[in-house]
Structure formats: structure tokens, C-alpha cells
Structure 1
Amino acid sequence: MPAEGLEKVLQYMTSVPAWYLATSVDGQPHVRPFSFAQIQDGKLWFVTATTKDVWQELLQNQLFEATSWWPGHGWLILRGKAGLIDEASPEMREAGWQHLEGLGEHYDGPNDETLVFFSADEPQAWICDHEEWVPVEL
């Protein structure tokens, strides 16, 4: 996975207040805002909680799509399969917990059992600037 492409995807996701992640269960799409993304061990990682619908949906169907609009740059589409084995480093757990706490969510610290990190496995990404879609080599 070329680090340059992964860094570009991360930049599109973290340069805006929120980006959107979609799941689909039983043919019904579900879209919600996300705002935490981080790279660890050559993979893009996200945080959620086991109590949230998004986690329950990913357990049923690991395929997801995310999109981010970065004004002045274009938009990103990221497709992947959620890697459900939480391998978050202590530093990423701390960053994810702090991020969620900053959004007004409350957990019992970075090691709260309800916090879960999932990776973007088998990622594909495209960036569009209104004129053309450009694949991002991941």
C-alpha cells in the first residue's frame, strides 16, 4: 500500500469537520458522519463504539463506502471492507478516545471496552475535482 496514497486519503478525511461513512444491511443504506481517521501499520483506521448501529451493521456486512468533500480540492470516495480485529496502538486508542470525548461522547478512558477501532481493508479510493475521477493508488 503506497504510503503517499494513504496519506492523501487521510488528508481529505481530516481536513474537514466531518466525512460520511455508509453501510448497507438488508439492502437499506445507512449513512452517518465520522470525523476520526488515523494511519497505523500501513492501514487507515476509524473509531466507533460497539453500542452504535454502525458497528452492528459492519458485523453483518463489512463493506462500506466513505466520502469527503474538501472545499477547493474536490471530493474523495473510499471503498473498503471493515477489518474488525481491533489492533489499535495505545497512542491511537488515546487519540480516538480524546476525539470522541471532544465531540461530547463519554467513555471510561481509552481502554473502555465499548470503544472499537476498525481498519479499511482492501481499500479503493478516487478523488474528483469536478472534471475527472482520479484513482488513488493504495
Structure 2
Amino acid sequence: MSDGLHTALQYLTSIPAWYLATSVDDQPHVRPFSFAAIQDGKLWFCTATTKDVWEELLQNQRFEATAWWPGHGWLILRGRAGLEDRAAADVRDAGWRHLEGLGEHYDGPDDPKLVFFSVEDPQAWICNHDEWKPLEL
């Protein structure tokens, strides 16, 4: 795993929530997310096919995410959602358990409503008030 990928994952998992933005028909949509994992050298996120964010990603795969980690600055992550759900069993289980812990309910990690997407063509920066430092992902 690259240092940049590890750093991005650390920013996304060291805080209670981070924010993912989509854009459809010239209208941005932002919502909190809180699950991220690494598989096959890529970041993976989890959502549900019943949520607006999934429908928005089907229309426009480009997204941006940001996470502020107090005392460390913030992460800006841009990419394209890889919509082919190839999440491994351990990632599916972790995502399912995470969402269940938030009060969502699914019929296990293989519930067809659960969907995992990878971050393709990622660009990332760690920022503070004085500088933006690119991360190699």
C-alpha cells in the first residue's frame, strides 16, 4: 500500500464522518460518509442502491470528498466512482457492520441493496491554511 493511500485512509477513518459530493444537472449534492477501506491498492466506499448518492453516481461518476482531521489539516480527494462492485468478503463484511452500527439495516454483507464502489483516477491533497501537499495514490 502506498504511503499516500495509507494517509488518505487514515484521514477518512480517524474522524466520525467525512463528506462526499456529487453533481447532477449542475446541482451539487453533499452528504456525510464514514466507511472507507483499501482493497487491491484502491480506496473503496460503501452505500446502498436505495440512496440518492448511488443514483447520482450512476448519472455522473465524478465526485469529491473532504475530511477534516483536527490537528492534522484536511484531505481533499477527487476521483471517479468505479461502479463495478468487486468488494472482497472482508471489505463487504466491514462495510455492512459499519452501516449496521450507524442504525441502518441490511440482510447481511451480501444484501443486494449494499453496493461498494472504488475510487478510480484519484487525486488527493493534504491541506492546511498555508499549503496544499499532493498525495500519490
Provide TM-score, normalisation by structure 2: 0.99
Deviation, structure 1 residue 27? 0.3
Mapped to 2, the partners of 1:34 and 1:17 lie a distance apart of 9
Count the aligned residue pairs: 137
Question: 1:110 and 1:135 mapped to 2: Cα distance?
Answer: 34
* Cα RMSD, aligned residues only: 0.7
Following superposition of structure 1 onto structure 2, how do residues 62-77 of structure 1 map, counting pairs within 5 Å?
A: 62-77=61-76
The corresponding residue for 1:13 is 12
1:48-87 alignment, distance < 5 Å? 48-87=47-86
Task: Name the counterpart of 2:98.
Answer: 99
Report what 1:108 is aligned to.
107
The one-letter code of the counterpart of 2:6 is E
Question: What is the alpha-carbon distance in structure 1 between the residues aligned to residue 136 and residue 112 of structure 2?
Answer: 34
In 2, Cα distance between the equivalents of 1:93 and 1:134?
Answer: 32
- The equivalent residue for 2:26 is 27
Q: Secondary structure at the match of 2:21?
A: strand
Work out the CA distance in 2 between the residues paired with 1:106 and 1:94: 13
Whole-Å separation in 2 of the counterparts to 1:129 and 1:46:
25
Q: Percent identity?
A: 76
Q: Gaps spanning 5+ residues in structure 2: where?
A: none
Q: List structure 1 segments (4+ residues) > 3 angstroms apart after TM superposition.
A: none
With the length of structure 1 as denominator, give the TM-score of the two structures.
0.98
Write the distance in 1 (CA, Å) between the matches of 2:82 and 2:30: 19
Contact 2:85 2:115 in 1 (8 A): yes
Query: 1:71-94: per-residue Cα shift (whole Å, max 9, x none)?
Result: 000000000000000000011100
